[in-house]
Amino acid sequence: MKTDDVVLIQSTLAGNEAAFANLVSKYKRQLHAYTYRKIGDFHIAEDITQETFLEVYQNLGKLRNPTKFSKWIFAIANYLCVAWFRKNSSMSELLRKSHTINTETDPYSRYVALENERDTAVAQRELVKKLLSKLKESDHQLITLHYFYSCTFA
């Protein structure tokens, strides 16, 4: 939420390092995913993400409109990705040619896939609980016994 960011930015500028730590924890996954998509290498994306947070911390006082913090931080990350490509043009060409995302071998893609599966399972579980609660008690028990305890009825 933008107002939360504004409060955290003001606290950081006032010297509260914990406020900046909150900003980092709020944006680190999104920012790493963004840099990973741009660069294609998990570890280089981690480095660029850390460098982005360092730039943000050092230049936070220059941010004119704190409500635009998320756009600003991603613009910095984008700039650092472009700078990395310029500096490592031969390396980036190799990455582009050889990089294909494979969820079976790529650790970040596997992590994201597992997170998505877990979120889906939690949502499905909540939906089943909600729907079961709307049934009559006898129907609720029948379904629970059949599907969760493998009971059969004659």
* pLDDT, tens only, 99-140: 555 545 567 667 677 777 777 777 777 887 888 888 888 887
> Which pLDDT score is estimated for 93?
60
SS (H, E, C) 9-31: HHHHHCCCHHHHHHHHHHHHHHH
> Which pLDDT score is estimated for 115?
74
**CATH 1.10.1740.10 occupies which residues in the chain?**
1-99
Sign of the torsion angle spanned by Cα atoms 78, 83, 84, 90? positive
pLDDT band of 96, cuts 50, 70, 90: low
**Per-residue DSSP letter, 64:** S
> Which pLDDT score is estimated for 118?
77
- pTM metric for this prediction: 0.58
| Pairwise CA distance, residues 135 & 132, whole Å | 5
> Which pLDDT score is estimated for 8?
93
Q: Contact at 8 Å (CB) between 49 and 77? A: yes
In tens, the pLDDT along 31-86 reads 999 999 888 889 999 999 999 999 999 999 999 899 999 899 999 999 999 888 88
Say yes or no: domain 1-99 is CATH 1.10.1740.10.
yes
